[in-house]
Structure 1
Amino acid sequence: MTGLAFAQPDAGLRLDLRDLLTMAVSTHPAVQAQQSLVGAAQDNVSGARWQYFPTPSVSVQNARTGATDPAYAGDSRVTVLALTQPLWTGGRIEAGVDKAQAYAQGAAAGLAESQQQLAIRVVQAYGDWLSAYRKRAAYQVGQAQHIRLKDQVARRIHEGQAAASDLALAQGRLASLDADMALAITQEEVSLARLSQLLGQTVAAKSLTGSLAEPLPNSLSVSELLAQAQSYSPALARARSNAQAQLAAIQEAKSATLPEVSFRWEQQHGNFNYLGGPTHTRGFVNLSSRLGAGLSNFAAISEAVQRHAAAEADTESQLRSLSEQVMTDHALLVTSQSRRQALQTSADLADQVLASWDRQYLSGRKSWQDLMNSAREQVQVQAQLADLEGSQVVASWRLALTTGQLQIGTGQLQVSSGQLQVPTAEQK
């Protein structure tokens, strides 16, 4: 975090995932950079449209020659004012406007893409923190349980009812649990550091624990989600805009092989041939070509065609990546619901088994090994449940962002009509 000065938020500030998303897209420099690119692209469109207008020019020449030079016997200074108006350019100006407009649309899509990707990164970091936070809570309960069991077997050893190896087993399991706790704490701190980087201010765990995010419900089919994602995707829109820009570049390159017709008006003050002459006003109709060296114009056309083919291939690549992401998240959400129910049932049963085997151990019907295994299984199931809950939050919120049913823009969180809904504070 060297070189980044974080703002210090209010110690009592409570932030939920929606707050984190809006703060990130409002302040992140990547979004601000894209906003500047959008402004530059819009100015480029204005510049392309100005090509329809006349081009003014001013020429001032001063001559210093010998007294006997007959070609410069007149005025020593000649000023020429001129306006050049294109009449026909073979489609060059139109293609330039189309290309600029396509790039402007691509820049706007790039801004939306930057906001979307930033929001997905925030969701991923939050999901990682949520999993680590809930695992740490599970490990804390497990630690308390293992400490109780360790103290219990220590008393039985003192009373001569248990072997010293039972205490060693309890201490070993507790040390292993301490290591898991340290890893969970590290993961939590790393996730908070990532969130702080994305938001540009320190994010403390206590500001997040008051309002934990829940998975967003989804009743749409995978085909419906794919259709929504394809119609909304900023990355796909940016790729398509680039393809349109390359089409315009092809037309622009082809126009270079055609002559241009323009009208030139000029007014000349002074004359190098004689002194004190009148002001002259002239009009010209020009026919000029823009042929490059050799066959360079045709090479430029071929280059533009290849760039368009690359842009079309990039569009298809973006479409496949988008479809893969949507299908993966949908499959994860479908399977995770039943898995969550199974893990919750397993956790409830593990609690019951531990309590039962604790009593049976005291009555001599279960061994100390069985009791310790039951305690470890209880903690493991809770840790698996914490991981699953975090992955559900990430997948559901990412799917909502990918399909456009959860939109981030201009510092506001917008939820479109559909099946994906953001829980309100009252629902939380």
Structure 2
Amino acid sequence: MRALFSPRSRSSLPLAAALALLATSALAQQTEPQQTDPVPPPPAVGDNAQNPPPEAKATAVPQVDLLAALQSALRTHPSVQSARQKLTASNYELDAAEYRLYPTPAIDLGAISGSSRSNGNQTSISVTQPLYAFGRYTSAIDAAESRVSAATVAIDEAQLDLMDQTVTAYYEVVKAEARLAVQNRFVDQHRDLRDTVERRLKAEVGSESDLVLAQTRLSQAQNDRSLIEAQVKKARNTLMNLTSLNAAQVVPPAQLDAPFRSEEAFQSKALAYSPNLKRLRAESIALKQDAAVAWANTKPQLVLRAERVESNVPTPYADNRLITALQYQPGAGFSAGSVAQAAEAKAVAAELDIRSAQLKLTERVSTVYSDLTANLTQARNLERVLRLNNDFFQSMLRQFQLGKRSWLDVLNALRDSNQSELGYATAAADAQLNSRRALLLSGQLEAVVDAGKGAAQ
């Protein structure tokens, strides 16, 4: 008799375990200062450059880090819970398959109707043990075991998919909040410029058209900020739906370098790790065993049956029997052969599904790697552009004060600086997102939240 497996003993859940092991290192990270943006924000303009406003008192707001978001999603999301329930069902199906090796008891209670002397009752109790069935029972057990393996890996697959969604949602919040901080500075700069023009107009050294232009640009900046605020709210709602955590602020994770030096190394790691491919391979084995069962059902089976029959027709009697029988049940209309051919076709389709999944994974890995490379290049270029635009804006402001540039030149220079800073914030966040997605696809789970373990390969 093959060993019976319980759902508890089969569910290893390596993804959740890996995250649990990271709790200690994550707590240590929280005590360290977070890395700051390597690009300084544009300097203040107008009178606030000499007299900066007093800083507002810091207020405590609920914060969520990436590790807490991942752990909460894995603990509460219904997709993972559903996968675990399917594993439980697979274990029970394996139990049922293994119990078919035991004798099958049966009780028949019958009433006989016929002539007046043939009316009465008959009872039979039997136990039937299969002796040889061309592998239909052992193949069924093998298929059930493969489905347990597939269901176990399916938990990892559900967790990996949920982690990818959570990391993506988390970085959407990080990106939106970074863009909002940039836009807030942009609005403050425009407000300072507007106030400066108002004072110049009162001193009769400015023009009304300059004030109208400054107010128009300020209104545009405020409108753009409202759009980014809506993006922040939407991103937070998405993250909350995945994690069941309601946080007013997320903690940007530590910066990661590119985890792979070549796409080939990334492809190799991802193909070797993929829970989706492992699940499909296990399901393919199960379908092959199903085909073996179906073909065995087209053949007879040898059974041993012990039974006791008691009847009162025509007179009371009892009889004990030991029967060796050859049973053959080809199905309605001899359909067993068609069922076997259908099962064999499903097994072939499963092999093709594996090849299709490999192609999709290869394409996905290539896309992530290409996006990551592009994001890193954009971030480096935009960092240089941002510094140049900041310097150019300050130059335009000084030349305006000397009467060599128009007010429109100053506002255009400030707009260019803002656009480059928004682009840099977007590219930097996307680079970190794709770095962590690459780590997830390659199975480097600890490095997703621990930057010290994300060495390039």
TM norm structure 2: 0.81
Mapped partners of 1:319, 1:252: distance in 2:
28
Q: Which residue of 2 aligns with 1:205?
A: 248
The answer to whether the Cα contact below 8 Å between 2:150 and 2:280 also exists between their aligned partners in 1 is yes
Q: 1:113 is matched with which residue?
A: 157
Residue from 168, 173, 176 that aligns with 1:124? 168
Task: List aligned pairs for 1:294-313, cutoff 5 A.
Answer: 294-313=333-352
Specify the alignment match of 1:47 in structure 2: 96
Q: CA deviation at 1:94?
A: 2.0
Deviations 1:322-371 (A, max 9, x none): 11121221222223223212211221222222122111110012221211
SS in 1 for 2:451: coil
Q: Which runs of 5+ in 2 are unaligned?
A: 1-59, 453-457
Residue 14 of structure 1 aligns with which residue?
A: 63
Whole-angstrom distance in 2 between the partners of 1:398 and 1:390: 12
- Name the structure 2 match of 1:221: 262
SS in 2 for 1:52: coil
Cross-structure match for 1:239: 280
Distance (whole Å) between structure 2 residues aligned to residue 175 and residue 389 of structure 1: 28
Distance 1:155 1:340, change over 3 A: same
Matches within 5 A, 1:412-427: 415=446, 422-423=450-451
CA contact (8 A) 1:217 1:421 kept: no
Q: Distance in 1 between matches of 2:179 and 2:449?
A: 27
Alpha-carbon distance, 1:286 to partner? 1.1
Residue identity opposite 1:380 in structure 2? Q
Could you give the per-residue CA deviations for residues 90-112 of structure 1, whole angstroms, max 9, x where no partner exists? 22112211221222222112211
Matched residue, 1:349:
388
Task: Name 1:330's counterpart in structure 2.
Answer: 369
Structure 2 residue matching 1:257: 3-state secondary structure: coil
Partners of 2:247 and 2:199 in 1: how far apart?
A: 41
Q: Does 1:188 align with 2:232?
A: yes
* Partner of residue 305, structure 2: 264
SS of 1:286 mapped into structure 2: strand
Following superposition, the deviation at residue 171 of structure 1 comes to 1.8
- Greater CA deviation, 250-259 or 294-303? 294-303
CA distance in 2, matches of 1:314, 1:285: 44
Partners of 1:17 and 1:230 lie apart in 2 by: 26
- Contact 2:64 2:247 (C-alpha < 8 Å) held by counterparts: no
For structure 1, the 5+ residue unaligned runs are: 1-10, 407-414
**Is 1:319 matched up with 2:364?**
no
Question: Any conservation in 2 of the 1:138–1:382 contact (CA below 8 Å)?
Answer: yes
Counterpart of 2:12 in structure 1 is none
Distance in 1, Cα, partners of 2:106 & 2:426: 70
Counting only pairs closer than 5 Å after superposition, residues 128-143 of structure 1 correspond to structure 2 as 128-143=172-187
One-letter amino acid of the structure 2 residue matched with residue 195 of structure 1: L
Q: Secondary structure at the match of 1:141?
A: helix
Distance 2:326 2:257 in 1: 65
Contact kept in structure 1, 2:259 and 2:438, CA below 8 Å: no
Conserved? CA contact 1:216–1:397, under 8 Å: no
The Cα of 1:199 is off from its aligned counterpart by 1.5
Deviations 1:280-306 (A, max 9, x none): 221111112121233522322232232
For residue 259 of structure 2, give the secondary structure of its aligned residue in structure 1: coil
Letter of the structure 1 residue corresponding to residue 441 of structure 2: T
Q: What is the alpha-carbon root mean square deviation over aligned residues? A: 2.2
Query: 1 or 2 for the larger relative contact order (CA 8 Å, sep ≥6)?
Result: 1
CA contact (8 A) 2:376 2:428 kept: no
In 2, Cα distance between equivalents of 1:244 and 1:300: 18
| Per-residue Cα deviation, 1:41-80 (whole angstroms, up to 9, x for no partner) | 01111111111111011223355777x41x34xxx54332
Partner of residue 29, structure 1: 78
Partner residue in 2 for 1:398: 437
* Residue of structure 2 equivalent to 1:409: none
Per-residue deviation at 1:400?
A: 1.1
Moved more, 25-34 or 163-172: 163-172
Cα distance in 2 for residues equivalent to 1:392 and 1:48: 50
Residues of 2 paired with 1:300 and 1:213: CA distance? 56
- 2:62 and 2:247 in contact (8 A); partners too: no
Aligned residue for 1:7? none
Q: Of residues 364, 388, 403 in structure 2, which corresponds to 1:364?
A: 403
Distance 1:65 1:308 in 2: 52
Q: Which stretch shows the higher mean deviation, 119-128 or 262-271?
A: 262-271
Q: Is the 8 A contact 2:253 2:449 kept in 1?
A: no
1:385 to 417, 424, 434: 424
CA distance in 2, matches of 1:421, 1:213: 8
Partner of 2:212: 168
TM-score (norm 1): 0.86
